[in-house]
Structure 1
Amino acid sequence: MEYSPAYEEAKRLARDGSEPERAALAALTDTRPELLYFLAGDDAASVRKAVAGNAAAPAQADGLLAGDADPAVRARLGRKLAPRAAALAAAQDRLGRIGWEALCRLAEDAAIRVRAVLAEELKAMPDAPHGLILQLARDAAMEVAEPVIHLSPLLSEADLLALAEAPPVPETLSAIARRPALSEAISDALVASANEAAIGALLGNESAAIRESTLDGLILQAATRLPWQERLVRRPALSPRAQRALALCVAGHLLEPLAARSDLAPGLARRLQARLEARLAETPEGPSEARLFEAAGLEGDLPRMARLLATQATVPLRMVEQAARLRSAKALVSLCWQAGFDMRCALLAQTVLGQVPPGAALLPAEDGDWPLSSTEMLWQIELLADPLTA
């Protein structure tokens, strides 16, 4: 077989050229396949990297470079092969299978940067192989998993639920929580995980659908979780009950953004404004007993909460401990009423001191008043005082 002078020159450069000359030859799409395969074994990483990025490189060269010692070379190869993933996965010929095997090797590469390149290329591809997308979504490195979890249209609700129920790492849950347009079922699974960071991310995801009952429970739990409060006050839609609960649990510096919501009921807006004005009028004489109780609740100091409540309600400590042990929302609210505390303290007494489940906690009436009549609250305290109930 006769070769042109140009081919003979290319052979000479491939064998004896300088590194820049070999790299330039390796990058040309009209370089003959056998020369590109030869250059795939070059000592210089820059030359092998040029071959890895060359669309004209033969499958055999790609197969060789998938095991290259330099992760930069493997990453360049991944960037080239990923857009061909659908065709390679479906290929029946030998060369197509070599390319698919090379891509699969890169998806399992020890270097995170190599796997991350694949994830970046495949994250929004509508026809990427489903199995490959699932593999990347299950990656323990968030640089790899998060782009795919966040954007891939191939991840079904069943896929996401499976990931939420058995996350490879805790950070997987937060990545799911940030995905646009989550369903109520997926939101429920994230809440069931009890992962605080993931729930915080979910609350910050304005496009996530969250059941009203689930959101109510999270608001009650948010009393001791400032990051959750910061996201809740900015959620686009809150039911009247959720608004009332949030008004009780938010920290002082979040009162203003909450009061600025356009969807607040008039009565609640007035109460928030009054609380804002009272906060501005506070004197530096020291916190009241109610604020000390609130601080103990935010710190999770249950013994101090119990002592403060017993002292202010002028009841034996055993009565407070009994109400907490019974997880009695009515009894704890009644003790706070007798202590002269407000409903914010009553919420902390229920959710922190009494560990009352969110669905069983008592919120103020729509007019902001106590949820029980004074007669019923006095009766609850009498029940606690009865030694037969201890």
Structure 2
Amino acid sequence: MASKTTFEVAKRLARDGAEAERIAIAALPGTRPELLYYLAGDGSPAVRGAVAGNAAAPAQADRVLASDADPAVRAALGRKLAPHAAALAIAEDRLGAIAWQALCSLAQDTAIHVRAVIAEELKAMPDAPHDLILRLASDAAMEVAEPVIRLSPMLSEEDLMALIVAPPVPDTLTAVARRPALSESLSDAIATSKNEAAIGALLANPSAAIREQTLDGLIVQAATRIRWQESLVRRPSLPPRAQRALALCVAGHLLEALAARPDLAPDLARRLQDRVEARLLEGAADPPAGALFEAAARRGDHAAMARLLAQEASVTLQAVEEAVRLRSARALVSLCWQAGFGMRCALLAQSVLGQLAPGTALLPGPDGDWPLSNAEMLWQIELLADPLVRA
């Protein structure tokens, strides 16, 4: 009798009670399913939201609320259903299937916030339904896709590679680049994507595995990209060859940070410290041609770079333009040597002026010296000066 009386009171409140009373009835885990179904059609979004978040609500109420006009109500329902995604995906009973359909509908909701709620609940779930995870990872809104891309254990190497090869939006690549413990194959794919933001995120990812050859190519490209340099300087591990190349292209304000790395070879650390001290002593004297060449490279001023290189190397502008046209790393390095520039300028000549593909630039030798012999560089200069060769 008491139970019947309680139900009658609850029914009366659900029908005629104040909003606060209806919310209380809708939120109670002991409220009868038929009352919760009735309240799923209440005129107050707050009441419907309470039903959406109530684990005791019947699947029929969930189906109604999945298409509720208020996104906050749909988000509340998604927050309740998503933790049970693994069980719902394989449910064989009719009510389980209804709840699964409601969850799938919410994962494609028109409101980004609703989809983001689902993604947040599923992002680290070890048994989340694979198809649902792929759908969320392919979302054009990063609020939805990024948490899943970065953290879901359900995404395989093949899934991530597919997102890199055919990203739904450019930011998808950046999200993949930020994923912990990225493999060398995935890092290679990002490095060749030409997506600067994604490559910057890759270099800033301390746990990403990057092949030494790939790293070499990115360091050459970093000559005019200060943010890349900042990330490279702070990477936990840098092979010796990468350290030497970075020492040549790093911006002046990052020299001290690079020199402070504990894994630098003593001679490289000493050379860097000398550069730091020389930078501090720079005064009002006219800048040398090499400094002007570097400044032009930072501006992306190809014409000024070519003029300076021709002038200082005592060759015609046409000879420099031919080396650029051929994208010849050997010719550009030789011109810089002839001009009295250092390897830092040679890297800029290859990456900025020559626009060489990653991995094709010539890097300095073990002691930071020229990668070609003097005889070979003289021969390269002679070839450029020969009008028959240029023809």
How far 1:290 moved relative to its partner? Answer: 1.2
Deviations 1:103-139 (A, max 9, x none): 0110010001101011111111111111111111111
How far 1:310 moved relative to its partner? Answer: 1.0
How far 1:54 moved relative to its partner? Answer: 0.6
How far 1:3 moved relative to its partner? Answer: 7.2
* Counterpart position of 1:173: 173
* Counterpart position of 2:5: 5
Distance 1:86 1:384 in 2: 67
How far 1:207 moved relative to its partner? Answer: 0.6
Secondary structure in 1 aligned to 2:341? coil
* Root-mean-square deviation over aligned CA pairs: 1.5
* Counterpart position of 1:312: 312
* Counterpart position of 2:378: 378
Describe the shift of the 1:45–1:360 C-alpha distance in structure 2 as closer, same or farther (beyond 3 A).
Answer: closer
Distance 2:35 2:357 in 1: 71
Distance 2:178 2:75 in 1: 27
Assess if the C-alpha contact under 8 Å between 2:214 and 2:358 holds in 1.
no
Q: Is 1:296 aligned with 2:296?
A: yes
**Structure 1 residues 267-276 or 282-291, which shifts more?**
282-291
Secondary structure in 2 aligned to 1:238? coil
* Counterpart position of 1:55: 55
* Counterpart position of 2:160: 160
Describe the shift of the 1:236–1:343 C-alpha distance in structure 2 as closer, same or farther (beyond 3 A).
Answer: same
Distance 1:346 1:54 in 2: 67
Distance 1:315 1:175 in 2: 47
Structure 1: 5+ residue stretches without partners: none
How far 1:192 moved relative to its partner? Answer: 2.1
Distance 1:371 1:3 in 2: 90
Assess if the C-alpha contact under 8 Å between 2:214 and 2:359 holds in 1.
no
* Counterpart position of 2:73: 73
1:173 alignment partner AA:
L
Mapping of residues 271-290 of structure 1, within 5 Å: 271-290=271-290
The total of aligned residue pairs comes to 390
How far 1:359 moved relative to its partner? Answer: 2.8
Q: Is 1:389 aligned with 2:389?
A: yes
Distance 2:348 2:198 in 1: 23
How far 1:87 moved relative to its partner? Answer: 1.2
Secondary structure in 1 aligned to 2:359? helix
* Counterpart position of 1:340: 340
Describe the shift of the 1:52–1:358 C-alpha distance in structure 2 as closer, same or farther (beyond 3 A).
Answer: closer
How far 1:211 moved relative to its partner? Answer: 1.0
**Structure 1 residues 363-372 or 41-50, which shifts more?**
363-372
* Counterpart position of 1:182: 182
* Counterpart position of 1:113: 113
Deviations 1:223-266 (A, max 9, x none): 11111111011111111111111111110011111111111122
* Counterpart position of 1:321: 321
The percent of aligned pairs where both chains have the same amino acid is: 74
Mapping of residues 246-257 of structure 1, within 5 Å: 246-257=246-257
* Counterpart position of 2:214: 214
Distance 1:108 1:358 in 2: 39
* Counterpart position of 2:136: 136
Secondary structure in 2 aligned to 1:4? helix
Distance 2:296 2:270 in 1: 28
Structure 2: 5+ residue stretches without partners: none
2:42 alignment partner AA:
D
Deviations 1:332-356 (A, max 9, x none): 2222122221111111112221223
Secondary structure in 2 aligned to 1:227? helix
Q: Give the TM-score normalised by structure 1.
A: 0.97
How far 1:2 moved relative to its partner? Answer: 11
Distance 1:380 1:258 in 2: 33
* Counterpart position of 2:126: 126
* Counterpart position of 1:39: 39
Secondary structure in 2 aligned to 1:359? coil
* Counterpart position of 1:364: 364
Q: Give the TM-score normalised by structure 2.
A: 0.97
How far 1:376 moved relative to its partner? Answer: 3.0
Describe the shift of the 1:309–1:134 C-alpha distance in structure 2 as closer, same or farther (beyond 3 A).
Answer: same
How far 1:365 moved relative to its partner? Answer: 2.2
Distance 1:285 1:218 in 2: 33
Distance 2:10 2:325 in 1: 85
Distance 2:173 2:307 in 1: 38
After TM superposition, the runs of 4+ consecutive aligned structure 1 residues lying more than 6 A away are: none
1:211 alignment partner AA:
R
How far 1:277 moved relative to its partner? Answer: 1.0
**Structure 1 residues 288-297 or 358-367, which shifts more?**
358-367
